Structure 1
Amino acid sequence: MAYNGDSDPRGDPVPTAVKLLVAGGFGAGKTTFVASVSEIEPLTTEETITTASIGTDDLTGVGDKQTTTVALDFGRITLDAQYILYLFGTPGQDRFWFMWNELSEGAFGAVVLADTRRLEDCFPSLDFFERRGTPFIVAVNEFDGGHRYGPEEVRAALDLDPGVPIVLCDARDTRSATSALVTLTKHLISVAPTTV
């Protein structure tokens, strides 16, 4: 999703839009991450978890989670007059994964949030992006009371290639979440094909 070379009716150049995804398992902190970095009030599709989800959504290890994303989260960051980042948070539960193909269309890369309380929940995200060839980083969202693991311990547990960056973050903290996006941006630059 990159637009450049055009101009608006006043002759001003249209900024380049860079689409990034924020993915991960159910309750990993995707909505919180998008909200903490977005310069606009984020669009969310949060719905209350009801008794109808019993037997469908596994709430083990996600504390007192009361809501869930049923379609997407959306936020925006204007870097400068030339570049705007559009962030799309994916839904975490299996029953909403049909949204992922649409959301990932045109995405440059992704942040996969890993929750060490339920680390196995990020495997579907990793598999999805690996199959599509979408560059990604893993951001370990360090929840209060959760066990702390070093990046290389997480790499071994997730069987990640050495070239996939892993960062520790707190999705609630703007600077921490922004730092994860900076890491993703650097990674995207490092893996971009060079033109001669």
Structure 2
Amino acid sequence: MVQSFKKFGFAVLVTVFGAFSVNAQSDLMWKIDKAHTSVNFSVNHFFSSVTGKFTSFEGDINFDRNNLKSSKVDFTVLINSVNTDDKKRDEHLQSSEFFDVQVYPNMTFKSTKVEKKSEKEYSVYGKLTIKDITKDVVLPMKITGEMEHPMMKGKIILGVLIDTTLNRTVYGVGTGDWATTMVVGDEVRIQIPMELNRMK
């Protein structure tokens, strides 16, 4: 009886650690190549479009097309890195009338699940926080390419693109006169082309 119990216990341990090993192997952590990644936005100003970008960001990307349940994305953007090629406008965007960077220095996205739409298209569900306001969003993610690095043996490159729109007024970005959409539009287009890499 004791011997049978020991064998049963050993079998349970093997099963548990075996499952852990499989999950660990399926977790594919990708490093963001910041030199080839950008966080871009555009918004209407009267009848023209103003473009800009955030130059400082960090992220943890765990993406495995064969194990979407373990895939997740955490991404943080530093608001004071906003750059629209106009210093006065950048300072205004950082002020309390827009992002209020002194109180809310970052915007963050934390995924809750990743869903496959097609071979190259995925939906990343998660929570986006701007100015301490958190909303559920779905980010469309397109795979733009995958290959072995031609000059770095053993390294895989993955290209992805996030292309979506957000309503700035939902997050309180633009207060007072700037809350209206007469001058600055409410819909902000977000484009994030990313180059990710990992070892094979």
> TM range, normalised to the smaller chain?
under 0.3
The structure that has the greater radius of gyration is 2
Per the normalisation by structure 2, the TM-score is 0.27
- Higher percent of residues as helix: 1
The TM-score with structure 1 as length reference comes to 0.27
